[in-house]
């Protein structure tokens, strides 16, 4: 008897969208937010998908901190730039609306740069950069997603969020290039997973209270002390640290929003700041201002193929390019549904019960993986 349940992506989208509506979101915003989360799972980026629904999103509504009906406003604007105020709305919604404005500007002016203040956790950074691809644009997305949990090089106090950054570029016949990375060695969820499974973590992911690298996920999580990409000073952790600071400069410092450990210092004149606050940066760039898009795409194909076919190190049988694994997951999961452990579905159904949403109905007992399950709302009227 397996506990793996497969859900159709559209079923999960409908379910999540219904839940977001019960939390007060307008239908179109609820559809956007659920698409961002479900796409992370479709692409196999499970650290940023539906598993975070309660902790990163629902709990903030319960606490009365997230704004279900934000007045998203453009505070300053030029032909290629904008500063957007998210009014405490979900980053999943504010982020998409801001990136769409960025795309619009890039299409008209060649480049779009949009900075967002007073938003909240925006999920998978790659969702936003990838959104540029169908328009023949290179896309960039960055976010300070809240809580400080990364220490600077030589430090032991959390001063930076994992500050993810993503870059997407359109290929031709190859899967599009999509880099989506925390500027820490790993995102925090990777430690929680290791703890759940009772596993040690590699030395270099996090440190203990003295700032010394440590392989016990419990000790690292308790302290919330992740290490910046590079891990140690001698392996150049100042670079990961510096990239994290760059993300803060382009998001919160440039936008007058959240950066660094500002939440911990709780300035009295920024009452909107809380542990769920976030700030974003988006950039979109028209490829065809430099070269015909098809030429660029052919060169992308050449580069990606040359990387994939280059000589492999001893003990490895494949070289990947960024976005390739996720593309393969997307193909497979679009067709066969997204696999979840039973307790993930149980968690969703607990939320469904609380907010009056029809539950996802799973067979009580079955052998092997489930067939991809459907879900339809049982709406009154």
Show the beta-strand stretches assigned E in 182-288.
Answer: 206-207, 213-214, 277-286
Cα distances (angstroms) measured from residue 81 to each of 103, 109, 306: 11, 10, 36
Cα distances (angstroms) measured from residue 36 to each of 24, 54, 325: 18, 15, 18
The residue among 118, 122, 120, 121 whose CA lies nearest residue 131 is: 122
Query: Could you say which of 107, 135, 195, 238 contacts a copy of itself (CB under 8 A)?
Result: 238
Dihedral pair phi/psi, residue 290, rounded to 5°: -110, -45
User: Which listed range, 90-98, 107-115, 328-336, 361-369, lies at the site for a copy of itself (CB under 8 A)?
Assistant: 107-115
Query: Could you say which of 47, 189, 219, 256 contacts a copy of itself (CB under 8 A)?
Result: 256
The two tokens of residue 164 are 């993810």
In sign, the C-alpha dihedral spanning 45, 47, 49, 51 is positive
**Tokens 């497979």, located at residue:** 332
What residues numbered 337-376 form the site for a copy of itself, per CB under 8 A?
A: none
192 touches a copy of itself (CB under 8 A): no
Query: Could you say which of 64, 198, 316, 381 contacts a copy of itself (CB under 8 A)?
Result: 316
240 touches a copy of itself (CB under 8 A): yes
Residue 2 or 306: which CB sits closer to a copy of itself? 306
79 touches a copy of itself (CB under 8 A): yes
What does DSSP assign to residue 242? H
265 touches a copy of itself (CB under 8 A): yes
253 touches a copy of itself (CB under 8 A): yes
273 touches a copy of itself (CB under 8 A): no
331 touches a copy of itself (CB under 8 A): no
Instruction: Report yes or no: 176 and 169 within 8 Å, Cβ to Cβ.
Output: yes
- Which pairing describes strands 111-120 and 81-85: parallel, antiparallel, or unpaired? parallel
167 touches a copy of itself (CB under 8 A): yes
Residue 201 or 345: which CB sits closer to a copy of itself? 201
What residues numbered 125-164 form the site for a copy of itself, per CB under 8 A?
A: 138, 151-157, 159
**Tokens 């994939």, located at residue:** 308
CA–CA separation, 183 vs 232, rounded Å?
Answer: 14
Least distance to a copy of itself, CB of residue 159, Å: 5
The two tokens of residue 8 are 């159709």
Least distance to a copy of itself, CB of residue 195, Å: 17
Dihedral pair phi/psi, residue 5, rounded to 5°: -115, 130
- Which pairing describes strands 177-181 and 206-207: parallel, antiparallel, or unpaired? unpaired
What residues numbered 207-236 form the site for a copy of itself, per CB under 8 A?
A: 207, 210-212, 229-231, 234-236
Residue 212 or 343: which CB sits closer to a copy of itself? 212
196 touches a copy of itself (CB under 8 A): no
Residue 79 or 363: which CB sits closer to a copy of itself? 79
């Amino acid at each position: 008897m397996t506990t793996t349940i497969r859900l159709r992506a559209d079923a999960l989208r409908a379910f999540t969208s219904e839940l977001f509506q019960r939390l007060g979101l307008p239908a179109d915003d609820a559809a956007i937010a659920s698409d961002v989360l479900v796409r992370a799972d479709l692409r196999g980026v499970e650290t940023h998908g539906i598993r975070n629904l309660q902790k990163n999103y629902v709990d903030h509504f319960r606490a009365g901190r997230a704004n279900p009906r934000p007045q998203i406003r453009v505070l300053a604007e030029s032909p290629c730039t904008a500063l957007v105020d998210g009014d405490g709305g979900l980053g999943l919604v504010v982020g998409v609306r801001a990136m769409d404005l960025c795309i619009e500007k890039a299409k008209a002016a060649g480049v779009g740069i949009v900075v967002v203040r007073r938003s909240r956790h925006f999920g998978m950074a790659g969702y936003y950069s990838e959104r540029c691809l169908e328009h023949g644009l290179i896309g960039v997305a960055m976010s300070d997603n809240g809580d400080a949990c990364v220490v600077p090089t030589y430090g032991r106090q959390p001063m930076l969020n994992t500050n993810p950054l993503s870059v997407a570029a359109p290929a031709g016949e190859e899967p599009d290039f999509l880099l989506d990375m925390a500027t820490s060695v790993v995102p925090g969820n990777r430690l929680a997973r290791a703890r759940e499974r009772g596993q040690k973590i590699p030395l270099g992911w996090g440190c203990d209270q003295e700032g010394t690298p440590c392989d016990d996920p419990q000790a690292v999580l308790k302290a919330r002390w992740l290490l910046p990409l590079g891990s140690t000073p001698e392996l150049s952790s100042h670079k990961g640290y510096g990239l994290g600071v760059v993300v803060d400069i382009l998001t919160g410092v440039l936008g007058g929003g959240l950066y660094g450990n500002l939440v911990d210092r709780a300035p009295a004149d920024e009452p909107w700041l809380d542990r769920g606050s976030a700030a974003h940066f988006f950039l979109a760039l028209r490829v065809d201002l430099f070269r015909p898009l098809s030429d660029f795409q052919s060169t992308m194909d050449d580069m990606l193929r040359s990387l994939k076919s280059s000589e492999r190190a001893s003990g490895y049988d494949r070289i990947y390019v960024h976005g390739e694994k996720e593309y393969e997951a997307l193909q497979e999961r679009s067709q066969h549904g997204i696999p979840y452990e039973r307790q993930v579905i149980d968690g969703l159904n607990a939320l469904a019960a609380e907010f009056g949403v029809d539950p996802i109905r799973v067979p009580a007992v079955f052998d092997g993986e489930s067939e991809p399950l459907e879900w339809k709302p049982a709406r009154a009227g």
